[in-house]
Structure 1
């Protein structure tokens, strides 16, 4: 992504406009536009890229392309590279078609091309994907920017592809370009090597792997494909509001974001939860007890799923295993990239907490008229008006501490996810080092399920803190139900001081899966807006009444601050810099322990 991106994050309505343009052009309202297909360098460029993303879906067999992408990601291909290659090769096929059908696109393209020309000098030249993308557009404008030898070679091979050829042959050529150039680049970056063209020429590439895509992906079991399709359709509607009609005969989306499915399909979809998130660590009776207690009122019909995640519990989903492994590796890579700074943060936090605990555990001696006699003061009896020759030792009666850290793992945190993982790791490691029991969990929503992913438990050893790097962001968030479910375990702890720290964007937001369309006439509601804010605020106050100290750490947009205040009252902290999360927690713990 090049240029100044701040404007796009502060303009939700414009972002929605870009998405709607893509859906309008494609006619596929249940097809989400991937972030790697967008460009936020300017508003005109963003509009143009949204239109072309929709055109690719309209004029090409997008099902084949999507299955190809999924097949390659399963083999650990980089998604951003795949989308960029598809964009470069296929844009020339769809661009003329969409302009012929919608003449106004030509003017948008003209404005976008001018912005590309201006921004070309600003892009990071080491980002080969942006360089390729911009060079491709500049060449379409009869401009020929100076590029390095590697970019020139890749561009030559892309240009050599016959865009009128069969789609399968085009995808095979894409595969060859990826394996020839980008496999080496990725490996070089991971090993911090400086690759050159001669190294790339010497890479042995196995092109025979392409054939498995045709057999494995195009001839999937029909029932499994139907279920996967329904899950994708529903999941996509969770991520963006106001999509319009879904275009599926089996699903209906009401204006209140309540999605209706029949009972048979609902059960098939629910059966896939463990497939996506790993087996639960609770028994069926324990889950039923939690759901009976908490899934009421606005959470009526919802379910909970406590899991250690796909890497540490039973899961036969090969794609999900690879995906989470890759996310963990990316988070660890970011941590190790600045490991000295992060270790200093751990030690600083550990020393601060230790110092506070030592100070608070010190014994204060006061002199009084009764208690244990102090021999050094016995002479005062009968000789002085100060008769306080006795002393009492006052011990700290505050008791022990236990801490729960609850991380919003919904899609809104995707741009922060490695920072969230790093900061949570710093806090958990420091707390564990000084002997304070702590649990770290992430929460998100999948259909009617609130998923609570446990990264470490209260009494786990310090090595378990590394599980936090499995954190990744996806889906929606039903904060009220997550807080209720997490509070149960905290209240069962024997420590006198129970602390719950919640990191979120202050915007609980979830759909409702309805199994009975007749209930919609009685006002069945989705979980968003004031309904969600009031419910979350209620659960925070209930937790406090039960003796839990609740702190909200807000990482969202300023426009959502009022909602955060309603939820957490005075005990919340707003930070624009997620990297200060551990410092904020340190200050809060100091305040709590001292007071």
Structure 2
């Protein structure tokens, strides 16, 4: 593979540097940097987009931008054009501001853009939005591309915007550019832009009327929610989407839905390398394809599933990955051993609680009747007494046995909680195993269009296998709906009457879509985030419950994302601010479920 994909796998610690750079620029250390705000085509690109991600948070009032977008989209403005204009203009604003504060950013930016543009094999000149972005980037690099008069006029308007101006005035300029150059050049059938210069006209916007969009109470919750995805794309989207390769064999398209396009040759390389980076699959290729055929539909069309025990417990000749995962495991074990006595007490306490509860719930009542098993001590009544109840039946509670799946979000957003999640999952799984409750622990993360499901322990493994949970590490994205759907497949095959799925996540499904051909739309092409990801994950949770699986969502994210978690899991979810309470809280839930 080219330089564009190599370093993403063998320098995970660089990701922390990227996050720290964004936090330093923004000054807001409590905000997570979304994976969509990072570029993996090169290190310089990643560093530059980290700077821009921090600058967006520092310099842009996104609440005002959101209100503006809601109002204009409701009024009929073309969403793609408007969002592209805002993206270019606000990128220009924050870039100017951050360069003024940190002049060294210019060199980083030029190296980043240079790396990214190497990956472009073609630019569709008929796509004015892409052409506008591409020309803007060349202009920022002090290059002088040939451009038609209309693109030059639009860029001149953008360059004239004062980066130190109030956000209201900047949005007013967005409005003027949109109405002047784009209002009459839309093809309503396919939403592609076609220029007709004779339609260009000058407009004058009344500022008082323009400011009406700040009256947010006029908008319905549904309208505000609809535009949240667009805001997420703007705050997380990159000006030039990049997945560069030194040979330029990837055809990149900049799209508002974060679909990454690669050619067939690169796809084959990626598929062959998944096992190299994540370990060989424990399923045959035929079995994997059957599972994909059942699960990779609708929004997951074209996605793939990779079931693995990880690089340490399955064939893998990737020396660096073996070293990296070993180091992560050692770090997790070190943190556990630091407070091992306390954790061991917690395990024993939970084990005793589970065992006692199961004994109580499995106890049976003896009922005497006129049929059943004869009770010898009362056999004398036959023929001597009118009481014929000399037989008995042992009636159990009918609740049946239990099996539990624990599914851990292993995406990059959990990195800061990594060792705590591993320890708590170990405590819970060990206590369940000692109490003889079958349980499986899996982690999920995404790499391009693959959802990786890593099995740490299986249902019937002995208690020592729980130690493999310390191999838990975080990277990549998360396609929650597909992971839940595939996990439920295995859970439903179990013979136990009571099936429970516990999902630990931050409530923010986030993934990209890989397309093979940028010239035509394919199903599932929209990026898996925002409303799309939440709706799909909620659908899979409800489908699992209809099939008899009790699903509990354990939320570890920010309070601002709490509503999304509620939409996904309904009433059966727990919000824990302290991840170290995970095993205790889940045990309380299980106790409640078993008792009731």
Q: Which category describes the TM-score, using the shorter chain as reference length?
A: 0.5 to 0.7
Q: Which whole-Å deviations, capped at 9, do the CAs of 1:517-550 have from their partners, x for residues lacking one?
A: 1333888311111111111111111211221111
Could you say what the CA RMSD is over the residues aligned between the two structures, in angstroms?
4.2
Partner of 2:475, secondary structure, is: coil
Q: 1:591 to 1:303 in 2, by over 3 A?
A: same
Unaligned ranges ≥5, structure 2 = 1-19, 60-96, 114-162, 165-231
CA deviation after TM superposition for structure 1 residue 396, in Å: 3.2
Q: TM-score, normalised by structure 1?
A: 0.61
Q: 1:526 to 1:314 in 2, by over 3 A?
A: same
Distance of 1:439 and 1:515 partners within structure 2 = 35
Q: 1:477 to 1:430 in 2, by over 3 A?
A: same
CA deviation after TM superposition for structure 1 residue 316, in Å: 1.3
Q: Does 1:8 align with 2:25?
A: no
CA deviation after TM superposition for structure 1 residue 385, in Å: 13
Partner of 2:408, secondary structure, is: strand
CA contact (8 A) 1:403 1:500 kept: yes
Q: 1:521 to 1:263 in 2, by over 3 A?
A: closer
Counterparts of residues 366-385 of structure 1 (less than 5 Å) = 366=367
Which residue matches 2:105? Answer: 55
Q: 1:358 to 1:521 in 2, by over 3 A?
A: closer
Partner of 1:310, secondary structure, is: coil
Out of 12, 23, 45, the residue aligned to residue 28 of structure 1 is: 45
Q: 1:438 to 1:246 in 2, by over 3 A?
A: same
Q: Which whole-Å deviations, capped at 9, do the CAs of 1:356-407 have from their partners, x for residues lacking one?
A: 01111222235678767889999999xx999988764322322221111100
Unaligned ranges ≥5, structure 1 = 64-103, 106-236
Relative contact order higher in (CA < 8 Å, ≥ 6 apart): 2
Which residue matches 2:117? Answer: none
Which residue matches 1:558? Answer: 559
Distance of 1:561 and 1:385 partners within structure 2 = 66
Distance of 1:344 and 1:32 partners within structure 2 = 46
Q: 1:316 to 1:459 in 2, by over 3 A?
A: same
CA contact (8 A) 2:507 2:557 kept: yes
Which residue matches 1:276? Answer: 277
Partner of 1:8, secondary structure, is: coil
Counterparts of residues 362-401 of structure 1 (less than 5 Å) = 362-366=363-367, 392-401=393-402
Q: 1:52 to 1:340 in 2, by over 3 A?
A: farther
Which residue matches 2:214? Answer: none
CA deviation after TM superposition for structure 1 residue 574, in Å: 1.0
CA deviation after TM superposition for structure 1 residue 246, in Å: 3.2
CA deviation after TM superposition for structure 1 residue 58, in Å: 2.4
Q: 1:270 to 1:53 in 2, by over 3 A?
A: farther
Partner of 1:475, secondary structure, is: coil
CA contact (8 A) 2:253 2:518 kept: no
Q: 1:352 to 1:266 in 2, by over 3 A?
A: same
Which residue matches 1:212? Answer: none
CA contact (8 A) 1:30 1:246 kept: no
Distance of 1:433 and 1:522 partners within structure 2 = 46
Q: TM-score, normalised by structure 2?
A: 0.61
Distance of 1:553 and 1:50 partners within structure 2 = 44
Which residue matches 2:446? Answer: 445
Q: Which whole-Å deviations, capped at 9, do the CAs of 1:61-109 have from their partners, x for residues lacking one?
A: 899xxxxxxxxxxxxxxxxxxxxxxxxxxxxxxxxxxxxxxxx99xxxx
Distance of 1:534 and 1:264 partners within structure 2 = 33
Tell me the number of residue pairs that the alignment of Structure 1 and Structure 2 aligns: 410
Q: 1:282 to 1:56 in 2, by over 3 A?
A: farther
CA contact (8 A) 1:33 1:53 kept: no
Q: Does 1:514 align with 2:531?
A: no
CA contact (8 A) 1:29 1:245 kept: no
Q: 1:56 to 1:441 in 2, by over 3 A?
A: farther
Counterparts of residues 449-464 of structure 1 (less than 5 Å) = 449-464=450-465
Q: 1:7 to 1:579 in 2, by over 3 A?
A: farther
Distance of 2:524 and 2:494 partners within structure 1 = 39
Distance of 1:517 and 1:393 partners within structure 2 = 67
Distance of 2:553 and 2:523 partners within structure 1 = 34
Q: 1:345 to 1:274 in 2, by over 3 A?
A: same
CA deviation after TM superposition for structure 1 residue 55, in Å: 3.4
Q: Does 1:538 align with 2:536?
A: no
Q: 1:436 to 1:518 in 2, by over 3 A?
A: same
CA contact (8 A) 1:404 1:438 kept: yes
Q: 1:32 to 1:457 in 2, by over 3 A?
A: farther
Which portions of structure 1, spanning 4 or more consecutive aligned residues, are displaced by more than 4 angstroms?
4-7, 9-12, 29-34, 47-54, 59-63, 366-381, 384-392
Q: Does 1:295 align with 2:312?
A: no
Which residue matches 2:323? Answer: 322
Partner of 1:253, secondary structure, is: coil
CA deviation after TM superposition for structure 1 residue 509, in Å: 0.9
